[in-house]
Amino acid sequence: MAADFHRVSYLAACLHFQRIMLQKKISTLFYNPRTLLFFYVFAALFISVQLILLGTHAFVMPKVIPVDIMNQPQLMNQFVGKQLTEYNNYIIFRQSFYHLLHGFNLYTIYPNEHWDFYKYSPTFAMFMGAIAWMPDYLGVSIWNLLNCIAIFTAIRMLPFNTKTQCLLLWFIANELLTSFSNAQSNGLMCGLMVAAYACMQRDKVALAALWLVLATFIKVYGAIGFCLFLFYPGKIRFIFYAFLWTVLLFAVPLLVTSFHTLTWQYQNWLTLMKADASAATGLSVAGWLNSWFGFSSNGIVTITGLLLFLIPFIRYKLYRDEVYRLLILASMLIWVIIFNHKAESPTYIIAVTGVGIWYFVRPRKVWRTILLWTVLVFTSLSNTDFFPDYVKSHFMKPYKIKAVPCIIAWSVVFAEIMLLKLPGNATAEDK
């Protein structure tokens, strides 16, 4: 009897030991940057191949036409019956290089090539020439890999320990997959803005300026990142490098086009942006206010949002505090999406990264964790099969639910920046 008891105890101990070792192995794998990198690269390539294999589909006029510069009957009628790919955004980027090369207007529609307008700079079109000549299966794969590597590398540069960096990378993974599925540039944009912060932290002023100027030449809202230079010494050097990179990147298209044509392209871009700015509200604060309360003044929302974003900068005595700087970075990443009238689902990789940075820089509290999970469920999973189609079409989309948790999170970040104690007076809760 005693022998049987010892045998059972021994087996139980062995099983417990094996369970502990298995948990350690899983934990080691989960918190390993190489695991994350493999997952990101595999996802980028898998989704790229999937987009190619899905082939083309004929454009069909939607029954409900959302408010957007593109969604005008006189424009949409030109697309009826046209064959469109599942990686339309990449086609827009690819063809922009050839339009630039041949002196065509970058900022008009090309129904025989792709859906929608090109809304990036001539410089971005020039850079797309590096992969535009490749077969689409290579071009799309390299493009998604670029977005993948950019955001992965940038987050690995943040002043968090390896475990926290991995948790942040897992947290944003689903949003990044959404960006991959749309062949968007949002992973690259997020990576450039976060990398600029990390380079400033390391006193790599020239690189920080380059990443911000490059982000601005991709999407204009990347210019918001220039606010970060206020926190660091070497401001004259930063301004010099920013000016230098701006001139150089502006001049890059001159390799294939004339100065007169280039300035004409910028005039066309400005005209398109003006028309675009008044045409939509997107998954933004403006869209939320309109869908919930019928408030439709985009101008008032934009001005109010800009003022609110700038208010925390009056706390100049905190400029050297790393927690303050990281909270400003988080605020910037969320703000640039929720106050963007053109915000759409794939852009939320930027906002969700901001939410993650906020969470991991603050002390763990139950209410903060609840908010983080709210963002994960109602923002990151809002377009997935986690929610039934009926819920998505009748609730999530009409009421801009994807934006709401990030709006709440940004409000919390704003409040925490304003309530942050000055250095030397901070408690563990404040830091």
333-385 pLDDT per residue, tens: 999 999 988 888 899 999 999 999 999 999 999 999 999 999 999 999 988 88
pLDDT of 62 > 70? The answer is no
pTM: 0.90
User: Both 139 and 250 in a single domain?
Assistant: yes
Cα–Cα distances in angstroms (integers) from residue 184 to residues 77, 132, 141, 281, in the given order: 25, 15, 12, 19
Total domains present in the chain: 2
If pLDDT is split at 50, 70 and 90, which confidence band does 425 have? very low
If pLDDT is split at 50, 70 and 90, which confidence band does 301 have? confident
User: C-alpha angle with apex 430: 428 to 431, nearest 5 degrees?
Assistant: 65
User: Both 234 and 299 in a single domain?
Assistant: no
The chain-wide mean pLDDT, for the chain, equals 87
CB 280 within 8 A of CB 68: yes
User: What confidence score (pLDDT) does residue 429 get?
Assistant: 40
User: What confidence score (pLDDT) does residue 382 get?
Assistant: 86
Residue 22 lies in a domain: no
pLDDT of 328 > 60? The answer is yes
Residue 330 lies in a domain: yes
- Tens digit of each residue's pLDDT (9 = 90 or more) over 283-298: 888 888 888 888 777 7
pLDDT of 25 > 50? The answer is yes
**Tokens (6 digits) for 99:** 């339009």
User: What confidence score (pLDDT) does residue 282 get?
Assistant: 78
- Tens digit of each residue's pLDDT (9 = 90 or more) over 381-393: 988 888 888 888 8
Residue 377 lies in a domain: yes
- Tens digit of each residue's pLDDT (9 = 90 or more) over 161-177: 999 999 999 999 999 99
Rounded percentage of the chain residues whose pLDDT exceeds 70: 88
Residue 424 lies in a domain: yes
CB 131 within 8 A of CB 139: yes
User: Both 208 and 325 in a single domain?
Assistant: no
pLDDT of 3 > 90? The answer is no
Rounded percentage of the chain residues whose pLDDT exceeds 90: 61
**Tokens (6 digits) for 211:** 């990443």
User: What confidence score (pLDDT) does residue 430 get?
Assistant: 44
Residue 31 lies in a domain: no
If pLDDT is split at 50, 70 and 90, which confidence band does 6 have? low
If pLDDT is split at 50, 70 and 90, which confidence band does 299 have? confident
> Domain end: 234, 250, 279, which one?
279
Q: Which uninterrupted H or E stretch holds 56?
A: strand 56-58
User: Both 219 and 150 in a single domain?
Assistant: yes
User: What confidence score (pLDDT) does residue 399 get?
Assistant: 87
User: What confidence score (pLDDT) does residue 18 get?
Assistant: 56
User: Both 49 and 94 in a single domain?
Assistant: yes
User: What confidence score (pLDDT) does residue 427 get?
Assistant: 35
pLDDT of 251 > 70? The answer is yes
Q: Angle 322-338/348-361 helices, nearest 10 degrees? A: 150
> Domain end: 230, 256, 279, which one?
279
pLDDT of 13 > 70? The answer is no
User: Both 407 and 309 in a single domain?
Assistant: yes
If pLDDT is split at 50, 70 and 90, which confidence band does 431 have? very low
User: Both 303 and 391 in a single domain?
Assistant: yes
User: Both 270 and 333 in a single domain?
Assistant: no
Residue 97 lies in a domain: yes
- Tens digit of each residue's pLDDT (9 = 90 or more) over 99-124: 999 999 999 989 888 888 899 999 99
> Domain end: 236, 261, 279, which one?
279
Residue 57 is classified by DSSP as E
Q: Which domain holds residue 120?
A: 44-162+191-279
Residue 183 lies in a domain: no
User: Both 251 and 308 in a single domain?
Assistant: no
Instruction: Give dist(CA 43, CA 97) in Å, integer.
Output: 27
Residue 14 lies in a domain: no
Other C-beta atoms closer than 10 Å to the C-beta of 117 total: 18
User: What confidence score (pLDDT) does residue 371 get?
Assistant: 96
pLDDT of 134 > 60? The answer is yes
Pairwise pLDDT comparison (204 vs 31), residue with the higher score: 204
Q: 415, 407, 417, 403: which is closest to 326 by C-alpha?
A: 417
User: Both 202 and 264 in a single domain?
Assistant: yes
Q: 360, 296, 350, 349: which is closest to 327 by C-alpha?
A: 360
Q: Stretch 24-36: mean pLDDT, rounded?
A: 78
pLDDT of 4 > 80? The answer is no
User: C-alpha angle with apex 221: 220 to 223, nearest 5 degrees?
Assistant: 85
User: Both 252 and 340 in a single domain?
Assistant: no
User: What confidence score (pLDDT) does residue 363 get?
Assistant: 93
User: Both 253 and 401 in a single domain?
Assistant: no
Instruction: Give dist(CA 6, CA 19) in Å, integer.
Output: 20
Highest mean pLDDT among 66-75, 77-86, 191-200, 314-323: 191-200
Q: Stretch 31-52: mean pLDDT, rounded?
A: 93
